[in-house]
Structure 1
């Protein structure tokens, strides 16, 4: 089973790239963030024509998340939107069960800057996510949390740690929140394997960030213990970032052996 995450930074713009990528990679599940589409204009017909089902929740211009699942994997079941118990107008979380695996697709707030109200909202949001996931893991032992976390967990996930020290995406409270998720019993799938140095999943559009590999690893797949035991690979696919008019993020994909 191949499960993947990709912040597409506008599904309207990136839909052809998403469909091409699915055809090439044959992913069973793809979690999308920043779809930036209201539900009434979500491209369900095109996705279904490509052999996938979809569960989604969105809003105009900002945020929006979706789970795409290959039809052969069966129905998308028990769909839930948002973080239970956390009132939030922003559409950032959708979860569903596919092939016996609980998939949680999350778009963590960016936080803007460490001295902003948006940063405090990010920390509250992450705390709510952790509390909710603790209960979800009791209900769903086979759980995967995929998405754009807007957190680079360690200095090796940052092209210039000194420049990013104490900045949003790399601050100590954000990294502590990431570790709090790991403390629930989740494992960073990417770090289960030997990986190339200077591996990132996001590069700024400005200053030739991608060409110079000045990036951050902020897109992650966290797996519960039963799924981590089944994980045989996890990669960042940089090829879509080389395309014309790309998202600033690259897809991350993990492969799970059959249960």
Structure 2
């Protein structure tokens, strides 16, 4: 196993945030990056700029919303899947998978589900069920696997500054949380919570009511590791400084470090 820094980052519009992304890549130099919410067609993906920064990439874009990509430092991701199985009518660009630096990487952007109740929440839960079904084989694989992305789920009340204003939001609904827990119950390790079981860690601060300035955040970006990879986990964190930059995304990059030897 290589020493790797693996990150997930909802950029909230790739073209608009490209300078922010490039600055973060230059400063932090992650080895593997999962991006979400590209909000652009495949033809608009900045492959040239990312290549000049030292990153190979694959991507699955969509006009105006959604979109996912996987970046590899000094390498080219080898695509293994585009889109979740289970619904041939689903045209949303929300899942991309590739082999990168010896790890199978699933990059996902789970539906937000608002407003709820309604068809958007129904779609969220149906997509979650498809993910749970597909993830079962990945979890039991002898190959190291990470499922990284914006899950649009606040797993517990510890993962939000205050539930009061969010009680009706799809991110906190019992059905959403139950789906996430069922995924974990397959045997996945929630990296940040595993290393920081008692700490409030946030990955998202919306643009309203000075939530960034008051650290009123949510933890909705997760990196789940299968048993073949989780023993190598030794560090995790959030690059919160990115959220403080001009024209920032409302998410900050969330990352883990994987060591070359199993943690004892």
Same fold (TM over 0.5): yes
Question: Please, which runs of 5 or more residues in structure 2 have no aligned partner?
Answer: none
**What are the equivalent positions in structure 2 for 1:221-232 lying under 5 Å apart?**
221-232=223-234
Cα drift, residue 86 of structure 1? 2.4
Structure 2 residue aligned with 1:148: 150
Structure 1 residue aligned with 2:33: 30
The answer on whether the counterparts of 2:58 and 2:79 sit within 8 Å (CA) in structure 1 is no
Structure 2 residue aligned with 1:256: 258
CA distance in 2, matches of 1:254, 1:115: 34
**What are the equivalent positions in structure 2 for 1:40-189 lying under 5 Å apart?**
40-71=43-74, 74-87=75-88, 88-139=90-141, 141-165=143-167, 167-189=169-191
**What are the equivalent positions in structure 2 for 1:174-213 lying under 5 Å apart?**
174-194=176-196, 197-213=199-215
CA distance in 2, matches of 1:257, 1:245: 34
Structure 1 residue aligned with 2:236: 234
The answer on whether the counterparts of 2:13 and 2:38 sit within 8 Å (CA) in structure 1 is yes
CA distance in 2, matches of 1:76, 1:155: 36
Question: Please, which runs of 5 or more residues in structure 1 have no aligned partner?
Answer: none
The answer on whether the counterparts of 1:10 and 1:34 sit within 8 Å (CA) in structure 2 is yes
TM-score, normalised with respect to structure 2: 0.93
Deviations 1:92-137 (A, max 9, x none): 0100011221000000000003212100100000000110111233
Cα drift, residue 165 of structure 1? 3.2
Aligned CA RMSD, in angstroms, stands at 1.5
TM-score, normalised with respect to structure 1: 0.95
Change (3 A) 1:239 1:127: same
Cα drift, residue 15 of structure 1? 0.8
Q: Give SS of 2:48's match.
A: helix
Q: Give SS of 1:208's match.
A: coil
Provide the aligned length of Structure 1 versus Structure 2. Answer: 257
Change (3 A) 1:212 1:196: farther
CA distance in 1, matches of 2:43, 2:165: 42
Q: Give SS of 2:146's match.
A: strand
Cα drift, residue 258 of structure 1? 1.7
Q: Give SS of 1:181's match.
A: helix
The answer on whether the counterparts of 2:110 and 2:128 sit within 8 Å (CA) in structure 1 is yes
CA distance in 2, matches of 1:75, 1:140: 23
Instruction: Name the stretch that deviates more: 9-18 or 85-94.
Output: 85-94
Q: Give SS of 1:201's match.
A: coil
The answer on whether the counterparts of 1:37 and 1:58 sit within 8 Å (CA) in structure 2 is yes
Moved over 4 A (4+): none
